[in-house]
Amino acid sequence: MKPLMLDLCAGLGGQSEAYLQAGWDILRVDNNPLLSEVPRMIIADIDYLEPHPSDEYQIEYVHASPTCYWFSRGHSSPRSIAEREGRSQEYDESEDVQAAIDHVLRCKEIIDILKPRYWSIENVRVSMKYLVPFLGEPRLIINQSYCYWGNFPMFDPSTLEIPSKHSHDKRHSPIRANYLAKIPFVISSAFLTAMTNQTRLDDY
């Protein structure tokens, strides 16, 4: 049986791409209908998913990359605009930020229900301000840009050559934000290698 990975808030599927190429059974979920052509994608809102653990299969890995829009410090992001206007506290307490936090916690709720062998949640480093109270300190930060919480085998991120996010910017694309947020293949591959090389008791 092929190992199974669930990629939540998958966007263009960057985190699961190395697994797909390695022959894993991949299921990607995102709520953006413009992403319907991404391989192995289901268009759905995670708030309406009804996950159920099963004795028939073991989900090896669940990953989630909830939107970073409300956490981002990009120049034109809502958070940066609020900071420049002196509205930081008001912004932090806004319904939009709370909804973004709730979205992350919904991902964690699904993970807890499914009980995969490995799991990760990824977001921008600035999100730590909002997520550490709920998820604790991140387990891994890569290139000061990709912040990971979870339970997964560690690897040395300093050995990875991470391309600039702007190198895959599609300025006029309706899914430009997805291109900018796409997790590079080199990171997906590093996760896969670490998991593949992990020694487990049930390997004996």
> Is 163 domain-assigned?
yes
Is the pLDDT assigned to residue 166 strictly greater than 80? no
Q: Which structural domain, as residue segments, surrounds residue 88?
A: 4-199
> Is 112 domain-assigned?
yes
Sheet holding 41-43, edge to edge: 41-43, 25-30, 4-8, 59-64, 118-123, 146-151, 140-142
CB 155 within 8 A of CB 193: yes
Domains in the chain: how many in total?
A: 1
pLDDT value, residue 202: 53
* Nearest-angstrom CA–CA distance, 140 and 147: 6
> Is 204 domain-assigned?
no
| CATH number (domain holding residue 106) | 3.40.50.150
* Nearest-angstrom CA–CA distance, 113 and 122: 19
**pTM, to two decimals:** 0.91
> Is 95 domain-assigned?
yes
Mean pLDDT of 22-44: 97
What are the strands, taking DSSP E only, across 101-172?
Answer: 118-123, 140-142, 146-151
Largest Cα–Cα distance of the chain, in whole Å?
60
